[in-house]
Amino acid sequence: MRLKSILNLVFVGAILLSCANEKKTTKNEVVVEKEAVAFNYNVEQFADIKVLRYQIPGWDKLTLKEQKLVYYLTQGGLSGRDIMWDQNYKHNLTIRKALEHVYTNYTSDRTSNDWMAFEEYLKRVWFSNGIHHHYSNDKIKPEFSADYLKKLLTETNITLEGEAFNVIFNEADSKKVNQAKKIDNVGLSAVNFYGPDVNNEDVISFYKTKQSPDPDKPLSFGLNSQLVKEDGKLKERVYKSGGLYGSAIDEIIKWLELAKGVAENEAQGKALGLLIEYYRTGDLQTWDDYNVAWTRATDGNIDYINGFVEVYNDPLGYRGSYESIVEINDFDMSQKMKVLSDNAQWFEDNSTLIDAHKKKNVVGVTYKVVNVAGEAGDASPSTPIGVNLPNANWIRAAVGSKSVSLGNITNAYNNAGGSGRLKEFVHDEEELELEEKHGQLADKLHTALHEVIGHASGQLNPGVGETKETLKNYASTLEEGRADLVALYYQYDTKLQELGLVDDWEAVGRAAYDGYIRNGLMMQLIRLNLGDDVEEAHMRNRQWISAWVFEKGQSDQVIEKVTRNGKTYFNINDYAKLRELFGELLRETQRIKSEGDYAAVEALVEGYGVKVDQDIHAEVLERNKKFNAAPYSGFVNPMLVAEKNNEGEIVAVKVVQPETFVGQMLDYSRRYNFLPEVN
């Protein structure tokens, strides 16, 4: 489970080389000298996207063995990059390879408006790992004509035809993930997790027949497969060596074997061995065994996420998108924040949950601040700022979980832009001062509380099935909202100051509440086209939380809607009462999850989280026009360049910053091209 960044909305105005013997830089690379010049976080901006770069603090403090481990893990992660593209949409790889061929080989006019539109479209496709927007799930619309693309294809002697060509311009497959109610979500979602004639009922009925060997330890059925119909019968195509995506998975295995050879300790090596076995067999019991071993492997400087993990891209929440994040521990910050995991039971005991829904023994919540060394798949270019894994409820309850905050990613967001948009939407100078003084700390604490306490909190009632089965298409937004509510409830609590995490709990809490309501009711709307419903799970949960507490607090004017000079603002009048409302909603969301109450979650999300106030939306878009900063941000990855001696042994691993987004995308396509166009 992951926390999407809201920092881009509030603060940001803001070739990994697989061949170790390639040491020299190209025109798209620039070697970073140690603090010789101020680091430039900004790469470029196009459409609604800002591309940033990040540093890897502490790299030079790692031993060569540790650097090798990071290098092998990043290479393994990138080797599966194209899996994510194919999972997102069946024609993505065909389209991308044709467009890249055009971009690389076209020699005619590169100054025309049509060419500029083509280049922007390709960049947007790269950023989203496909032809659907990475956040809204809507198909990206090109600003050039079909005839112009045909001209480019002809002049560069490349073929793109049939459905793969037409879908760029027509209305087919318009939504990657369609979460609307009372529709065939599977059939109307373009994501490539299901065959073309598979529908909601097929999926539900297929997995109803699946039995776990141990009912108390349910397997994650459907996590690593595509469900299709062959001769009218449902069949899983499993992601594994020799199966679906096998050629890329074999490359992942190759690098994981090398990583296992330089593991920091026995526990880490055991976990890597189980991950390799899982990729070889596709066995979901091995996946659970791996997650248990990985969760327990907490020692060392290096950690990683690798696999078919998050289920947000599946409209029914079964199938995991491929992702990889390689992490270096930030010991100083991790030690400071360890206090949260050490006190997890206190937070659980003192929450507003019904007693039957509280865990009596919160175990194994490991929290670390880490610095990212490389990302791939669902985590790149658009990256989370926090992750809590594994997702299986029984593992969380019996073994625990790992929560990480991506410190250098957050730092890059914070240092990449200005505060003009913030000043436009705050209610008054007091709110602005609170945000500027305490906002960054408030966000860090929100991430930590969300991941460490939020996702670890609560338990299901005996006999209630997994959330994806009971809450279906609302499972993701309910879970993310529930974790947000835990964080919000405790952000305005003296306990944070008692634990030494803040110097002024009230000021930090007020900044947190101001920012959440401002974003949930107004600022995140800049990400939507006028008239659109809210679709993305995290955006939905921020809206249904904010809208619910606004409505429930109206009689006491807890949050006041203010109109001044034709502009709308939301001003919190009573922070203590707002905390009570957050606690009340937290209790209800946990009840919904614990009992598997589908009717209640549908009413909550559809009633508060989907529809947008069109007058406010139009106003927000108009007020936002004067700002140049894009509403979405993402990253290029530093390149890790392995230098070898004459015997082929790695003697050093250097960090090289990519200069351009285009350069990295083309380099990735050349070096990690392990899948055919059609899988």
- 328 is a domain residue: yes
pLDDT at 256: 98
Mean pLDDT of 660-677: 98
What does residue 323 show for φ and ψ, rounded to 5 degrees?
A: -155, 155
Look at residue 24 and tell me whether its pLDDT is greater than 50: no
The three-state DSSP-derived secondary structure of 595-633 is HCCHHHHHHHHHHHHHCCCHHHHHHHHHHHCCCCCCCEE
Taking the C-alpha atoms of residue 164 and residue 50, their distance in angstroms, rounded to an integer, is: 28
Look at residue 22 and tell me whether its pLDDT is greater than 50: no
> Percentage of residues in the chain with pLDDT exceeding 90?
83
pLDDT at 6: 42
pLDDT at 366: 83
What does residue 658 show for φ and ψ, rounded to 5 degrees?
A: -70, 145
- 88 is a domain residue: no
Taking the C-alpha atoms of residue 404 and residue 1, their distance in angstroms, rounded to an integer, is: 11
410 or 663, higher pLDDT: 663
Other beta carbons less than 10 A from residue 30's beta carbon: 15
Q: Name the residue among 569, 455, 449, 567 with its Cα closest to residue 512.
A: 449
Residue 461 forms beta bridges with which residues? none
DSSP for residue 228: E
Taking the C-alpha atoms of residue 8 and residue 446, their distance in angstroms, rounded to an integer, is: 15
Look at residue 91 and tell me whether its pLDDT is greater than 90: yes
- Are residues 530 and 614 in contact, defined by beta-carbon separation less than 8 angstroms? yes
3-state secondary structure of 643: strand
- Are residues 590 and 483 in contact, defined by beta-carbon separation less than 8 angstroms? no
Mean pLDDT of 47-56: 96
3-state secondary structure of 230: strand
Which residues, 6+ apart, have CB-to-CB distance to 117 below 8 Å? 142, 143, 144
- 79 is a domain residue: no
**What separation, in Å, do the N-terminal and C-terminal C-alpha atoms of the chain show?**
27
Q: From the centroid of its chain, how far is CA 309?
A: 11
- 607 is a domain residue: yes
- 447 is a domain residue: yes
pLDDT tens per residue across span 456-474: 899 999 999 989 889 999 9
Look at residue 34 and tell me whether its pLDDT is greater than 50: no
Q: Which two three-digit tokens encode residue 27?
A: 């025109």
Residue 569 forms beta bridges with which residues? 562
- 81 is a domain residue: no
Mean pLDDT of 591-609: 97
- 24 is a domain residue: no
pLDDT at 365: 78
Look at residue 207 and tell me whether its pLDDT is greater than 60: yes
Look at residue 23 and tell me whether its pLDDT is greater than 80: no
Residue 17 pLDDT class (50, 70, 90 cuts): very low
pLDDT tens per residue across span 102-134: 999 999 999 999 999 999 999 999 999 999 999
Mean pLDDT of 577-596: 98
Residue that is written with structure tokens 């679709």 in the block? 535
pLDDT at 381: 98
Mean pLDDT of 215-222: 96
DSSP for residue 458: -
Helix axes 92-105, 146-155, angle to 10 degrees: 60
The alpha carbon torsion through 90, 93, 94, 98 (nearest 10 deg) reads 150
596: left (phi over 0), alpha (psi -120 to 50) or beta: left
Taking the C-alpha atoms of residue 291 and residue 277, their distance in angstroms, rounded to an integer, is: 12
Amino acid residing at 17: L
pLDDT tens per residue across span 475-506: 999 999 999 999 999 999 999 999 999 999 99
Domain that holds residue 486: 2-12+311-635
Q: Name the residue among 315, 322, 83, 312 with its Cα closest to residue 189.
A: 315
Lowest mean pLDDT among 3-12, 147-156, 226-235, 569-578: 3-12
Mean pLDDT of 216-234: 96
Taking the C-alpha atoms of residue 294 and residue 401, their distance in angstroms, rounded to an integer, is: 9
Please give the helix or strand (H or E) that residue 238 lies within, else none.
strand 233-238
- 668 is a domain residue: no
Mean pLDDT of 524-550: 94
- Are residues 125 and 96 in contact, defined by beta-carbon separation less than 8 angstroms? yes
Residue 234 forms beta bridges with which residues? 229
pLDDT tens per residue across span 239-264: 999 999 999 999 999 999 999 999 99
Mean pLDDT of 180-202: 96
Which residues, 6+ apart, have CB-to-CB distance to 561 below 8 Å? 550, 568, 569, 570
Q: Name the residue among 456, 453, 471 with its Cα closest to residue 595.
A: 471
- Are residues 78 and 672 in contact, defined by beta-carbon separation less than 8 angstroms? yes
DSSP for residue 308: E
Domain count, the chain: 1
